[in-house]
Structure formats: structure tokens, C-alpha cells
Structure 1
């Protein structure tokens, strides 16, 4: 009897494995749109009459375990007609084609979280009137029998710095254009968040240069000892064919992670009451866990939190003690007021106590920007950050949440702290920031990076810099090494676009001035050597520990091509520029349209390994639908 029992027990794992093989079957495929045949990300795939479901990834692909040889799937996605289709597990390379809805999007549920803490009387939450399908899409896996609670951005205290768009300048009177490099991309994710919520973004949340710089462009890396390389090209402007579009790209050298200097990091985490939402502190924890996984033994991490008061929850800990660091993150809970200033002071003190002379010393602040307790004024806080920057401790800022978001505050803090600024709206953005771009996010390759463009009046009548309104510098600032500017990390790229008026063409309205009354109205002396060059780009930068800048130069020759004949990356940048101008209702948008932006983006999609370009195309489509709905008064 014992022998029989032993034989049965020995055979049990094999029997279970075989049973698993016979019961678990896989159906996989891809969902695309009927119009453009592009992948549809985030589509919901549901086994009919069951709770089994999955969603497509950025490439529109899905894989789903089923229990039978054939199933009926319901496929649904915002902006598309839902459909039912039957499939067999023997079907290979399933391709599901969804047809776009003909009506403009309205009553779309906000992409938020149905938190048990939410109260209907809370001004930041409203009852949504989305359909049951949309409600399920907002929170996959949940069946809502009551109206869903969704985060409202109609009533909010979000704050953005006002932007006055750059105007045209006449080359003969203003031949130099000077600005600071910018690799921030918070504006793109803020725009994405608004559109996902069925709303057009606040106009001042749209910083066109940050939209453009959200994407990776295939600029060649430096071939010499310089940390950055300059690239230029020229096209006929797609939204104003009588003008030309200049693209200036800078590519930073990519340093292997193992060769990067050791890091002394202080996580400064907001755990105040305003962070008590699923897309705030819980997302902060998951984001920083991604960063912890990238740390090396030579790196060190401290964790400081602030609410009613600031405190240290983890002293400086080696990067190979990942379990200890993650355990400290897991214990955090939100509640209390916001002693932001006090928290920053403590974080800087700890950073200095563990300072690495040849290393990367950085405070990483994660907050919704609601600083209401601590240092008495914003200017005092900025002075503190500027002072610590000069001592070698930099500040990076990550924003979370919406409804009480202080974008203007966080952007300023990052600028003053020689760090980058990102808005984390979901786990995928956290993964990109901390897992895919670890070196560029944390390690400064070149600091105080400034650009100055000199236009040749023989070739250019006038120009307009697209974006960078809050990064403009005086022409004298370019050679002033005391003037702070932007920073570039390992592998980072910077892209800038100019719309130029060719010599002999008519300047746009607002781009000219009346003749002078008290001085002669003679043009500047002609150049000593007549040149066909369109412009010269000059770049100044300092090494991370340096105080004296170095100079790089590159010239652009004439020969504007039709945008369709330009590299895919140039076409994408031109598409994003149009998108940004449309969202801002820019007076300089010319013949820009959402359809034109989509067409350019589709032609520039390329391999798109991470799916960012496909996602962008969907965003433009959403913006178009919402704009049409608003225009109709719906």
C-alpha cells in the first residue's frame, strides 16, 4: 500500500503539469486601426461572458491564456467601434482591425483611479457619466455597478507659467539668437495626461520644445573628445511653403553605465496629504524601485520624507542593499501638511555629509509641487538651490498627480538646481525615466549648455525660434561663464527648430519696425566675405566639475528640401511642432492641421521599438477629436 501511495505521489507533479498543458492555451495577435493600419495601444481584449481579459501593449500586441480551443473575444478601445470576433487557438498571426468611431469623443471617463478614499463631496472628484464600456476601460478587471469616481480637472488649482510665444526678428537688426539647452520633457506627459482625460491641455502647459524633445532622434554621436556633436539641416516649411524650417540637433556622448561615476543620491519624497492617491505616492514608490534596480555597489542612497515635518527614513545605504532600500520605500504612507522647504534643507545636508568628490551628488525630489510649509518664500528656496548647485549638489525634479499640480514651481526648481524635470503620469513613463535612460536622467555630461545662432543677412531676412520661450538668453550671456544654463546627460539629445524667412521674401506682420527718426536707417556694414552659408551655430558648455566653458561651431549650407524628402526624424520633429502650435492656437501655425501632423508622423514612424511614435499618432487623433467636439459646442 505504501509503495502504491509513493508511486501516486511521485506521478502527481507530472500529472499536474500535463493537466496544465491541456488546459492553458494561448491566443495572441495584434490590434490595428482600419484607417492607417497602425497599432492600437491599450485596447482591451475580453473573453466574452467571462472576467478574463488583457490589453494591448505599445505595439498593439496581446497574448491571452484561454481554457477552450475556441473563444469569442470582445475588442474595444477609445475612439474605435467595439467588435466581437471568434478565434481558435490554432489561428496564427491574428490581426484584428478596428474601425474608428465617426462621432467626436465626449463623456469619456477620466483616466484616473477609483480610490476608496475618494468622496463625492471632494471638489477634486466628480461622478463620471461614461458608458459601462468606458468605465471598464478606465479600471480593467472591475465591474462597476455604481457611477465611477474619476479625477476631475475641471475644478483644480493647477499652475503653469505664462508663455508669450517668440516673434519674428529681422536679421539685419538682430542677427543673433541665444538660448539655453533644454532636455526636459514634462510638457509632453502633461499634454498626454490631459488628452487621456478627454480634455485639451492648458495652453501654458504646452511648451513646444519639450514636446519635440520627448522623442529620440538618430543624431550621430561625437567622433572626437567633445561630449556633444552639432547637426543641422534645412527643409521647406510644411505649414508655410514660402518659409524654410531649420533643424539644429545636439547629441551627447553615451557613456556605458559601468563607466559612469559613483552616485550619492538622496530621494526627497513628498508624503503629505495631497499625495494620498493611487497615481501619486504609490506610483512614486514604483518609480523609485525601478531606479533602485539600476544601482551599483559603488552608489549610495538616502531617503528623506516630508509632510508635517521632514525626517530621514533611510541613512546613506550602498546600492547593492536593494532589499533594504525597497523595504524603506514600501513603508511610506501619505498624510499631513507639506514642509517642502524643510525637506529640501535636510536632503541637501545629507547629500553634503556623504559627498563624493568625483561622483554624482544629486537630490531627486518627487512631489505634486504643493509646497505650503517651510522656507518663507520661493526666492529663498531658489537661492538655497543655487547655492548648493555651486557646491556640486544638483537637483532633479519628478512631478506626480494632477488637480493641484504646480508645474511652474517644479520647473523653476529643476532649472535652478542644474537638473532635469519630468512629469510621471504612469508606470511606463517611470520605466523610461529610470530604467531605459538611467545615465541621461542622473549623470550630467555637460553643464551650462548654451546655443547662439548667427544668421547670414545675405540668405535670411528673418527668423523665429519655435519654443524655448523660458530659455531665452541675452546675446552677451553666451560668453559669460557665470550665466547658468541647461545641462545634458549621457546620451541626451537636444533639438531646436527655427522658421526662417529667406532673403528677399516678405516679413510676416509684426516682424518689422518703422524707420528710426534720430539715427540713420542704414543697414549694418556688408560682411567682409560674401558667404552662401545660411547660419552658424555656436555652442558653449562646461564639464560637470568645470568653471570655464568650451566652444563648438557648425555651419548650415543652403539647399532646402521638401519635408517629405528629409530624414524621418526631421519629419517627426516638424509634425510635433505643428501639434504644439495647434494645441496653443498659435498665430504662427499657418496651414498647420491635425491631419497634416498625423500624415508626417505616420511617414516618420520607422521601427519605433518602444512604441512612442505610435502613441504620439494616437494622441494627435485624440486632440483632433476633442477639438472638433469643442468647436461644435459638445
Structure 2
């Protein structure tokens, strides 16, 4: 429960402090002669594979001063003036390593997998974690800041000459709330030939799952949403032709199902048109930042500030940004300011400090009002909400917040939600707000993810090219006995909703890809899901026309223009025989591996013959070019999850 005794909105009016530094009221001072000494940096990798290891604890031996490695395995730590100083590198599932520092400025380390430790890990708690570790504000979130600065074009402020207490964490997911996911069942194609759902480009679940695994725990089942894991990754789908009036294009593929060889797997891919940043319409953005008491800690407000700083560097002169904050009350910190004044925007971001209760509803109303006042009919109008979702003042029920968002979206202002923190993350609420606000939901587990969402995917995150996008799949009962949609449980629609233009659905941003998988039981399968019926005919009453009898299914897609009210229809069939999984495209095989990984994490009843080893092999063989390294990261996470599950050793093949 947040501190309701702090009713005042805490917005610092003093000179800006570094974005990463968050000094808590109980900060423990460190002697000045300690912070004057040299900084050691380096990269921690897994021995053998060379993969960078995020989340490794790096401590100065005999002290509580340390950092955690970032998503690239990088760290930076200010060393005391001690010639015999030793660094201790430790992480769940790896053998702890000690290294003498001496005069070194760069110290790279490789950790060896400890299969015995992984098989004995207690998943119900964070036992053995360092309590009360003091982490330097800049280094804690920005290990390897030079590398990320080069990657994202970000000029970081000078490092803060202070240390801040990093609060001890209990179980990583304790107190988090997730909507219950009841896994999709199989349907009989003869009786229920239509499957309808709204597109979903959210990918928060994957980043959240990664956070759990990196902290030595398996995620709760309901934290795993398979479609969000699928859509975290980019796939090489065919783009809409330049001459096409439609901003989206459908692609399909059919192969054997890796977790049930008697079944087939149909892949439906949607590619949105890519638009160069320079050609995107003007942006009217309102940053809505939660600065309540629960946002204290380096993985919350300071991380949000760092991410927003990255975004500011992408702004163009024609873009405008305003900043609204809320705690005990809501306030306008920065009126709409053009992108040609980045320092004014950055200074406003740096002045934020957490404290107080959470007037989330008031903040949302003020943010929407600010966005409407600067509404650009030819541009992209959007509120970017950054919070842990823990609203407890004003509108606090999901129904009230949902209605507030529904009422506001009709004005043409969309909503992007950035979740952060752990221990009181209101995941279900954040997802609801994004879905109802015609936007998307991302979870920031580190600065690299903030850069990915707000910089690398600037267009897709913030610029909608198609709204209310719905898919309806019609299955051919001559080819399909039963089918099951993998994921999208909370995006299902009734068949009649597909043609109803008043029914809200998902949004696609510039360059977005969306992937959906259907597990199919073919007609004549040796493993029918149900026996033939006694009182109903078992043969299809009206077989498809001979021309279409070879088709497995037909994909229909409806979408609206960003400011439109009438939908347009696209359609494409999938015909032919399935290929073997070995001959499927790399994108198909990788998507299948991601889905299989999600089902194993959820302990799905539909996981068939899936194993951790088979999942790792399938994903590793489909990594392709993998320029950003995210596919390689998934392979590492599969190995880590296997060890945490206690079902086998890790890294021994």
C-alpha cells in the first residue's frame, strides 16, 4: 500500500540531477575518497557459448557495494582505493568467480554453468540474494553505458558521485497481479468453422518472463501469454507492395507440429507497412509519468526517466512533447514543447522524484486534456503512460479506468503503456488500459528494453497505421478435423464481431509484425480428439467446391484507417500439403519454438511431447542472422528455465 501521508506531488524544482540517480531519503553516505577512485568496467559472458549474461551480481568483496550487469552483460563499478580489491561475480546457475582488480580498468569475466546448483534451486523465493546492496545510481541501470549510448545515439549525463541503497527484494513476483488465462481448447471444424480474434501487438509478457528467469525464478503461469512472446520477435514477412492502398499484408505457412507430429501447425503472419522516421507524421506526445511512492527504486522511475531521455533524442522539430505527472495529485510539469528544444524536455524529465499516493485517474484525465489541446489532425496524438499500474486514489477499479480510456479514445488520442517494477506490478490493469486505449503495452525490465521499445521500434510503438484490426479464420472441414488457436485467449471475439465496425480490436504500428499459430488435427488423423457421433452425421454435409477443396483455411482481415470509422476487408487462403518441420522457414521454426517455450513455462496440457532440450534445439537452429541477438537470448533463457524447472541439466548436450 502506498504512503497516503504524502499528499503533495513531489516534482523537484532544483537544478536537474542525472536521470539515473535516485537518492532515497535514507541514502547512506560514502566517504568522498572512495568515490574519487577509478572505475572498472567489463562484460560477463557464459563460458563456452560466449553469450552475454544479464543480471549477474558484481560485488566488491567484503562490502555491500556492487552492480548488476545489463542486458548486454556489461557492468561499470567505481572502485575504492584498495590495491588488493577483489570483485565477486555471481548469478543463479553459474559458479561464482572472484577476480583481483589491481590497476585494471577493464575486467571481462566468463562464468561456468553450475548444473548442480540449477537443479537444486528453490523457485519459491529469492534465497541467497544480496540484501541491502548499495548500487551506484548510474552504473546500476547503465552498466556498459558507452555501448548503449552508441547504439541509441544517447548522450548520458555525468555519473553521479554518490551511492544509493538498493532495497532488498523478496520473491520477484510477490504481490504482482495477472489476469487468469484459461488456455484455448480444440474446436471441431464442422461445427465451429470460424475462429475470430483481435490482433495483439503487446509484448510485455516476454520481457517480464525474462526478468523472472534472470532473477532465478520460473514465472507464474498467468504471467506467460504465448502471443506476446511470439510477437516480441521480428519476422521477415512480405511487406505490402508500395503501390498497394492497404497498409498490411497477410502471409501463411503450413508444416508439421513439433510438439505433436500427428498434428499440423499453421502460421499466419501480418506485416504492417514500414515508414522511415523522417516520413512519419508529426507527433503530439504527452508523457504521463507515475511519480508515486511505489515508483522509488532504480528499476522504476529512474529507468523510466532514462527511457524517455532516449525517446527525446529521436524527436524532430515538428514533434511536440508535454509532461504530466501524478502522485497525490496530477500536475502539468511541461506544456507542449517542440522537439527542437530537447534540453528543455530533458530538464523537465530529470526534475522528477517519486513520493506520495497515486491519483491515476486524475493523471489520465489531465494527460488526455493536454493532448486534445494540442491535437494535430494530420499527426499522431498519443499519451505515453509509465507506471507500475498501482492506482489507489480516484478511479481505482478496472471498470472505472477502462471506461475513462474508452471515453477518451474517441477523440483520436491513443495510449501507449510502459510497465515497470516488480512486487506490486498490476500487469492485468496495464494491459487493459493499453487495449482499451487503442495502443500497446510493453514492460521495461532494463534500459536495453527501453531503447528497443522507444528507439529501435519508434514507429511501431508510437505511430498507428491500422486500427481495430481483426482476424477471422475459416477452416475447411474437408482438411481440418479440429483446430486450436495458440494464445490470444484474452483477445477472442464472437464470429459476428468481425463485421461489426463498432467492435474495438487491436492496432498495428508502422513496421509491426504479428504472428498467430493454429494447431490443426487433420482429417483422417490416427489420433482423433473425439469419437464419431451416434446421433449426428459424421460426414461433411456439403463439401467445398473442388477448386477450394485443397485449401486448409482462409484468412480474413478487417482494419480501419487510423482516423477512419469504416473497415476494409482483406482475404487470403492457405492450400497445399504441410512440409516437415525441418523444411519449414527459419521464421516458422523459431515461432514454433517460442510457442513451445511458452507452453512449457505454463505447464500446458497441450504441450504434447515438447521438452526443454527439443525447444532449445529448434530455436537454436532457426536463429538466422539475429543481428540484435534476441533470438540467441531466447535460447539462453530456455536453458535457464530447464534448470529452474528441475527436469534436467543445463548446457550439457
TM-score range, shorter chain: 0.7 to 0.9
Corresponding position of 1:130: 128
TM-score (norm 1): 0.82
Contact 1:58 1:615 in 2 (8 A): no
Q: Which one of 632, 639, 642 corresponds to residue 621 of structure 1? A: 639
Shift of 1:137: 11
Cα–Cα, structure 1 residues 103 and 354, in superposed 2: closer, same or farther, change >3 Å?
same
Matches of 2:478 and 2:558, distance apart in 1: 26
Matches of 2:351 and 2:86, distance apart in 1: 43
Corresponding position of 1:314: 334
Contact 2:64 2:132 in 1 (8 A): no
Contact 2:95 2:111 in 1 (8 A): no
Shift of 1:130: 2.4
Q: Which one of 576, 596, 604 corresponds to residue 586 of structure 1? A: 604
Q: 56-65 vs 457-466, which deviates more?
A: 56-65
Q: Which one of 436, 448, 464 corresponds to residue 456 of structure 2? A: 436
Corresponding position of 1:551: 569
Matches of 1:433 and 1:472, distance apart in 2: 26
Instruction: Indicate whether 1:393 and 2:393 are aligned.
Output: no
Corresponding position of 1:427: 447
Matches within 5 A, 1:16-415: 31-34=45-48, 38=51, 40=53, 78-82=92-96, 98-104=112-118, 129-130=127-128, 149-153=167-171, 156-224=174-242, 225=244, 226-375=246-395, 377-415=397-435
TM-score (norm 2): 0.80
Matches of 2:303 and 2:528, distance apart in 1: 47
Corresponding residue SS for 2:551: coil
Cα–Cα, structure 1 residues 525 and 376, in superposed 2: closer, same or farther, change >3 Å?
same
How many matched pairs?
A: 580
Corresponding position of 2:552: 534
Corresponding position of 1:574: 592
Contact 2:202 2:442 in 1 (8 A): yes
Contact 2:590 2:618 in 1 (8 A): yes
Contact 1:368 1:399 in 2 (8 A): yes
Cα–Cα, structure 1 residues 468 and 138, in superposed 2: closer, same or farther, change >3 Å?
farther
**Residue segments in structure 1 that go unaligned for 5+ positions in a row:** 1-23, 111-125
Cα–Cα, structure 1 residues 39 and 368, in superposed 2: closer, same or farther, change >3 Å?
closer
Contact 2:97 2:111 in 1 (8 A): no
Shift of 1:584: 0.9
Instruction: Indicate whether 1:525 and 2:542 are aligned.
Output: yes
Shift of 1:524: 3.6
RMSD of equivalent CA atoms: 3.9
Shift of 1:515: 5.2
Cα–Cα, structure 1 residues 370 and 30, in superposed 2: closer, same or farther, change >3 Å?
closer
Corresponding residue SS for 1:497: strand
Contact 1:109 1:197 in 2 (8 A): no
Corresponding position of 1:115: none
Matches of 2:607 and 2:415, distance apart in 1: 35
Corresponding residue SS for 2:363: helix
Matches of 2:426 and 2:294, distance apart in 1: 12
Contact 2:121 2:644 in 1 (8 A): no
Deviations 1:72-123 (A, max 9, x none): 9987654233567999x9xxxx99684543332666999xxxxxxxxxxxxx
Shift of 1:472: 0.7
Instruction: Indicate whether 1:495 and 2:515 are aligned.
Output: yes
Shift of 1:291: 1.1
Shift of 1:384: 2.4
Matches of 1:371 and 1:61, distance apart in 2: 34
